[in-house]
Structure 1
Amino acid sequence: MIVDQQAPRVSGPSEPPSVNTLSRRNFLRAGAAAGGGLVLSLRLPFATGEAEAAADNVFTPNAFVRIGSDGKIVLIMPYVEMGQGTYTAIPMLIAEELEVELQQIRLEHAPPNEKLYVNPLLGIQATGNSNAIRGAWQPLRQAGAVARNMLVTAAARHWNVDPTSCHAERGEVIHEATGRRLSYGELAAEAARMPVPENVALKRPQDFNLIGTPAKRLDTPAKVNGTAVFGIDVRPPGVKVATLAQSPVFGGRLKSVDDTAAKAINGVRQIVRLDDAVAVVADHMGAAKKGLEALVTEWDDGPHARLTTEAIAAELDEALLTPGAVAENIGDVDHAMAGAATKVEATYRLPFLAHATMEPMNCTVHLREDGCEIWVGTQALAKAQATAAETAGLPLDKVVVHNHLIGGGFGRRLEADWIARAVEIAKHVDGPVKVVWTREEDIQHDMYRPMFAHRLSAGLDGMGMPVAWNNHYAGSSVIARYLPPAFNNGLDPDTTEGAIDLVYDLPNLHVEYVRVEPPGIPTAFWRSVGPSRNVFVVESFMDELAAAVKQDPVAYRLALLDKTPRAKAVLALAAERIGWGERLPPRVGRGVSLQNAFATHMAQIAEVEVAKDGTVRVRRVVCAVDCGTAVNPDTVAAQIQGGIIFGITAALYGEITLKDGRVEQGNFDTYQILRMDEAPNIEVHIVQSQELPGGMGEAGTSAIGPAVTNAIFAATGKRLRKLPVEASALKQPV
């Protein structure tokens, strides 16, 4: 069961977390709850001493399990659910070690508190970068194991028997010799008085009952019957609805508004003017939208009035002629290149991309003189609270944020610009107001995946194998803005993942990055982040090398993978399952892609048909994945399927362009997504593994693009070094 609305909680001020060693005692403590139950407080790495003290006082930990005397088991969830299955897979970790059925776990959204709910792999309270399971794997299993141990000890004391003669099963402790049973609810108060054990062994993988088995998602029934509460569903008493128009050019200002016609529309209550936007507040969205359309606005376009995509691309090309920060250097590339038998060079370009989440951007705000209450779906709860507090001019502890299920995040809801905008509008509204962006407003005022350009060169020996690899690329650093401490010496882990630490055995390699921030267009994380660009470039260029020496692209890669057996295994499995090497009809080709990103090894092979008019249809995709321990195989398969659809959309259609400072795309007619009848048959093959879990939410997206374009090359002989695919370039000559 998902609890989407909880009693308001107010957290204390948030400061950047520090890195501390994770001790058993600091990690897990227990205390008696007011209702006579067991409260287990989890502390993840980076928790501060001050945060621990706060948790001891009020039992508000980074993540915690609450077991009441009524037998209810509640997991306060520090990660958010945006379709990726987090609200099923993470409870499986607790349920496994606690020895309860998955359906016995109740979930509540965690409140904003960066000290207590920090993501141990990001250093902030956020869900992203495919690391929810990775971050929760050890702490949540440990919490369940300690809870189970304390409950068993409490039962043994109650019966005056040896704890080793008891075991936990399905929410009860059983004395094996006599068959006596006590439920967790009956034991909760007594267990809360037990000392926290210093060392509790976690279950061995061979003893797992839940982990590794397909589990039905806990949030599905509510989403099917309509009771699930997303941010856009919230309706506080007296709420009004607003929609807005922002300056069509980033950095522009509002000059004037004639709102006469808008005010005459039934249901329109007021017009809110801001420095760079105007909003219509009404009784419902229909009236607000009609009012917005009736406004006559004049804008001052500002300094970016003539900005074009071509100008930004030219700036990236110029940056490729300048030295960058060295991200990785192995051997001596220049010397190896000088002696190479064959040299290959290529330049790759990737466009701006919008997120286009299915749930439109929205935020409901009730701003009072003494506080602010917000209802929203966000990937970064503490950031949302801090942004609202700063915008409202309130102390952090006066801002209450209710988080909800998210209808698509893709990195867009890691930002808080739309929350700040909603608070700005709420300053002018008496009572709560729900601010909803139209689809056009969303696409034309998104924070976009950055545009990048890569210049690559490679040297091959007499056998055609690479002896030198050089990758010089330029584009925006989202992390430099979002997490400045993580941008060091001109580099950050987002811009480099997928470009360095390659799975291939390359004796001489050099990678340089030049940071170039585009003028007048904001950039942000986009599903699969850095690898969405870097894997496309690396895997496309690797295909070029194989083609240059007329070698099979799968065999060519396999010969370079002896140092990474997990990568070699998934590539071999994908090739076997698709029937690599089979004869295909004319203008049908297969392309391969291999990656190690988000701690997951993945190979994808796409089968693509190119029509005579250049239209591309992806007919089939076979994916082999080694993501370590697959907590919920159903979630793994679903995330790969969704990621592939998302990635094909980007490869075939995705592009944001600017003309006269304005984004040219406005809705799904001009920013197309893959239609249902275009979706390929997708096969997912999961390698059984006991390695630590890898990330799955983003991996499928980054792997599919180069598989598609490599398949296009196999079908037509035309190499695509720029996305999206242009059908005109693939037309068959008459």
Structure 2
Amino acid sequence: MSTQLHTSRRNFMKLAATAGGGLLLGFNWTNSGAATASVVNNTALAAGTEFNSYLSIAADGIVTIFSPNPEVGQGIKTAFPMIVAEELDVDWTKVKTVQAPLDKNKFERQVTGGSGAIPHSWKRLRQAGATARQMLMEAAAKRLNVPAGELSTEKGMVIHKASNKKLSYGELAADAAKLTAPTDVKLKDIKDFKLIGTSVKNVENKNLFTGKPLFGIDFHREGMLYAMIQRPSAFGMKIKSADVTAAKAMPGIVDVVTFNNNVAVVGKSTWQVMKARKALKVEYEKEGDLESTSDHDRLFTELMNNGEATERRKDGDVEAAFKNAAKVIKSEYQCPFLPHSPLEPMNFFAHVRPDGVELVGPTQTPDLARNETAKLLGIDPEKVTVEMTRMGGGFGRRLKADFAIEAVEVSRLVKAPVKLIWTREDDMTGGSYRPAVRYRFEAALDAQGNMIGYKLRGVGINAGNSTREHNFPSGAVDNLLIDSVEHKSPITTGAWRAPITNFLAFAEQSFLDEVAITAGKDPVQFRLDLLDKAKKAPVGEIKYDIDRMKAVIQLAAEKSGWGKKKDVAQGFSVYFSHLSYVAQVGEVAMQNGKPVLKKIYAAADCGVVVNLSGARQQVIGGVVDGLGHAMYGNLTFKEGAPEQTNYNSYRLIRINEIPEVEVHFVDNGIDPTGLGEPALPPTGAAVANAIFKATNKRLKNQPFIEQDAFKGVS
């Protein structure tokens, strides 16, 4: 497929200017508060007037927003214009979005990660829409010679009910462009929203369904070369020698270059490059430890007992609480490394020229790619441009820039534009995995079954701080100690969807279930009681909202009929991450002597839901991702080399293994919080706790399918 994805700032200005006589609003994304709008005429735009972002209203009534955030499937190119359209009161069918390139001078937080796009931009986008609406009403008031207070708006029209006169936004755009933008506008009351909170189809659905070239893997530039890289065969190895003679002589191969422990084959087509790479004769030698999974299991035990721990939080007198406890519960939970496995493997386009560098591709952090490129080449970052394509999955892997920098290295060496492509095997064995971690929990109970002491130690392999020391139940236990131990490994790790909490939530919520059952208490009520205690007598700092967590617990319990069903075993879990709260109930039924997962209820509190359809899919996607990886995901190592290299050996969840997922949202009217990641963490524990209820077998390690208690389960 040959096309050229090129949506530059200049092209956007050209697009906006062709409308003629339209209204363009620049609004500030860098201000912590709502934006201040300024009117810009087409001449100023053509001359490069400095603004951070733009809302345009063309003479034909089309509204366009210049959207800065990378689109990775989270639906930001739908949600952003919905917010603007709501305040603008425009016909949704006349709203379009243009992807912005990287521009540090005009945008803030051009990042996809941390579930933060909507929370960051919510007020800014509303301000932009409301400002435009007020200016259009003022223009209409002058034209109709009536007070602006007598006017109203609806679907892109300004209406004067007394005279039954209407003017379209397109008709008014030129007049509005002559006005001074107001600095203070009134935003809608949430109860008056007409578009936000409804189900809206993704604006890119048609292009996605018809196979239009949206993704980085689709990008093509006439005259570009293709490159693939042979990397070391194991973590802890380096190149000793490389015989590239045979590869260089193969059809279509332009060059073979070596850099940073890598050998890159460059040619005229992907297939030619792929075949030539197999002809390389590369010899490696050891430069560090070659770690195996068996080494990690041994290290976990050694470090858990004798490692140098970093104290993360300590409340009360933990030693005394455990010494005087009526009962002590202790458990350990462990998770493996996981690859990210996005459907679209890593790829990037780079053209290093004497006057600057052009980068195009799928990245969650375009500014990182630019800065790393500038650092590598010793040039001003302003000489590096970055255009973002849609991403075919990221899950944190594309937060790094290594694959973009590889493309830059190759382009510099061969002095040509280069499209770097990873194979699936490259993608799975190329590092930046979810860290492997083991957790040890201890709880002290008094004679009445109250938890009076709590300990958590996390031992991680390249995990950094493997705990979240301020999350629940911190603040609800009088005596608490949380610490962590780190092992530095040659195996590279990075953020994986819902970093750390993707497994920590499973471990914490499974352990709390253990404690509740040992104390003879209902697991849901046990958590509610802890939250009530934190509300009445908080211990130390509390960084979660107690009332929001209670509300989401109660909603999940209500919708699932918690404790009222006799034909299924139910398991509960709740977690706070990325400023949002998700509670889940898993339901398991015994069939032919085996537990079978039938359904998962999910209750989410992410504040105002912008796009109901998109939000439901985010929750369902998070649940399926959390379930699939808890059940099947496992990446093991032998002497530094990953043993799973493709989907024939690395297990993902299959469509027939996905249970029914029922989603509910808490309607509390607060500003939106994150949703791309929060539904994943609680899933593993909801399922594992239901399995325990059905079988009396506690799952403590992932993947579940490899544990004795779970072998053979459907």
TM-score by length of 2: 0.88
Residue of structure 2 in register with 1:464 after alignment? 449
For residues 658-706 of structure 1, give each alpha carbon's deviation from its aligned partner in whole angstroms, at most 9, with x where no partner exists: 2211122211122211011111111112222212212111011111011
Deviation at 1:410, TM superposition (A): 0.5
For residues 59-107 of structure 1, give each alpha carbon's deviation from its aligned partner in whole angstroms, at most 9, with x where no partner exists: 4544431234453322111212111111111211111001112332221
Q: 1:257 to 1:323 in 2, by over 3 A?
A: closer
SS in 2 for 1:683: strand
CA contact (8 A) 2:457 2:485 kept: no
Residue of structure 2 in register with 1:722 after alignment? 701
Residue type of the alignment partner of 1:472: R
- Residues 510-521 of structure 1: matches in 2 within 5 Å? 510-514=480-484, 516-521=486-491
Residue of structure 2 in register with 1:67 after alignment? 57
CA contact (8 A) 2:229 2:265 kept: yes
**Percent identity between the two aligned chains:** 36
Residue of structure 2 in register with 1:568 after alignment? 550
CA contact (8 A) 1:713 1:720 kept: yes
Residue of structure 2 in register with 1:21 after alignment? none
Deviation at 1:246, TM superposition (A): 0.8
CA distance in 2, matches of 1:731, 1:71: 59
Question: Of the candidates 596, 616, 624, which is equivalent to residue 645 of structure 1?
Answer: 624
Q: 1:413 to 1:509 in 2, by over 3 A?
A: farther
Residue type of the alignment partner of 2:28: L
Residue type of the alignment partner of 2:551: A
Deviation at 1:340, TM superposition (A): 2.1
CA distance in 2, matches of 1:547, 1:229: 51
Residue of structure 2 in register with 1:485 after alignment? none
CA distance in 2, matches of 1:261, 1:350: 43
RMSD: 3.0
Moved more, 161-170 or 213-222: 161-170
Moved more, 516-525 or 88-97: 516-525
Q: 1:323 to 1:264 in 2, by over 3 A?
A: closer
Question: Is residue 374 of structure 2 the alignment partner of residue 389 of structure 1?
Answer: yes
Residue of structure 2 in register with 1:104 after alignment? 94
For residues 375-428 of structure 1, give each alpha carbon's deviation from its aligned partner in whole angstroms, at most 9, with x where no partner exists: 101111111111222233432222221111111010111110110111111123
Question: Of the candidates 676, 689, 694, which is equivalent to residue 668 of structure 2?
Answer: 689
Question: Is residue 576 of structure 2 the alignment partner of residue 596 of structure 1?
Answer: yes
Which 5+ residue runs of structure 2 have no aligned equivalent?
Answer: 12-16, 536-545
TM-score by length of 1: 0.86
Residue of structure 1 in register with 2:471 after alignment? 501
Residue of structure 2 in register with 1:88 after alignment? 78
Deviation at 1:328, TM superposition (A): 3.4
CA contact (8 A) 2:312 2:484 kept: no
Deviation at 1:526, TM superposition (A): 0.8
CA contact (8 A) 2:569 2:691 kept: yes
CA contact (8 A) 1:591 1:606 kept: yes
Residue type of the alignment partner of 2:7: Q
Question: Is residue 644 of structure 2 the alignment partner of residue 662 of structure 1?
Answer: no
- Residues 128-527 of structure 1: matches in 2 within 5 Å? 128-304=113-289, 306-320=290-304, 321-322=306-307, 324-475=309-460, 495-497=466-468, 499-502=469-472, 506-514=476-484, 516-527=486-497
CA contact (8 A) 1:8 1:402 kept: no
Q: 1:727 to 1:323 in 2, by over 3 A?
A: closer
Residue type of the alignment partner of 1:166: L
Question: Of the candidates 586, 610, 619, which is equivalent to residue 606 of structure 1?
Answer: 586
CA distance in 2, matches of 1:9, 1:301: 50
CA distance in 1, matches of 2:57, 2:462: 44
Residue type of the alignment partner of 1:592: F
CA contact (8 A) 2:313 2:481 kept: yes
SS in 2 for 1:730: coil
For residues 222-268 of structure 1, give each alpha carbon's deviation from its aligned partner in whole angstroms, at most 9, with x where no partner exists: 10111251111111112222222211233533233333443454433
CA contact (8 A) 1:607 1:711 kept: yes
CA distance in 2, matches of 1:275, 1:40: 43
Question: Is residue 611 of structure 2 the alignment partner of residue 632 of structure 1?
Answer: yes
Question: Is residue 103 of structure 2 the alignment partner of residue 113 of structure 1?
Answer: yes
Residue type of the alignment partner of 2:637: L
CA distance in 1, matches of 2:70, 2:99: 8
CA distance in 1, matches of 2:378, 2:163: 64
CA contact (8 A) 1:450 1:475 kept: yes
SS in 1 for 2:573: strand
For residues 633-663 of structure 1, give each alpha carbon's deviation from its aligned partner in whole angstroms, at most 9, with x where no partner exists: 1111101111111111211122222221112
SS in 2 for 1:144: helix
Residue of structure 2 in register with 1:38 after alignment? 24
Residue type of the alignment partner of 1:5: H
CA distance in 2, matches of 1:508, 1:318: 29
Residue type of the alignment partner of 2:629: A
Deviation at 1:324, TM superposition (A): 4.1
Q: 1:364 to 1:465 in 2, by over 3 A?
A: same
Q: 1:195 to 1:584 in 2, by over 3 A?
A: same
Q: 1:583 to 1:73 in 2, by over 3 A?
A: closer
Residue of structure 1 in register with 2:542 after alignment? none
Deviation at 1:617, TM superposition (A): 4.9
CA contact (8 A) 2:604 2:679 kept: no
For residues 18-39 of structure 1, give each alpha carbon's deviation from its aligned partner in whole angstroms, at most 9, with x where no partner exists: xxxxxxxxxxxxx9x9966322
SS in 1 for 2:530: coil
CA distance in 2, matches of 1:330, 1:570: 27
CA contact (8 A) 1:41 1:59 kept: no
The count of aligned residue pairs is 682
CA distance in 2, matches of 1:638, 1:705: 18
Residue of structure 2 in register with 1:487 after alignment? none
For residues 531-583 of structure 1, give each alpha carbon's deviation from its aligned partner in whole angstroms, at most 9, with x where no partner exists: 21321221011011022234332333333333434333332332343343356
CA distance in 2, matches of 1:392, 1:316: 41
CA contact (8 A) 1:40 1:64 kept: yes
Deviation at 1:509, TM superposition (A): 4.1
For residues 273-301 of structure 1, give each alpha carbon's deviation from its aligned partner in whole angstroms, at most 9, with x where no partner exists: 22311222232222221222222221223
Residue type of the alignment partner of 1:467: I
SS in 1 for 2:338: coil
Residue type of the alignment partner of 1:405: R
CA contact (8 A) 1:628 1:693 kept: yes
CA distance in 2, matches of 1:199, 1:511: 49
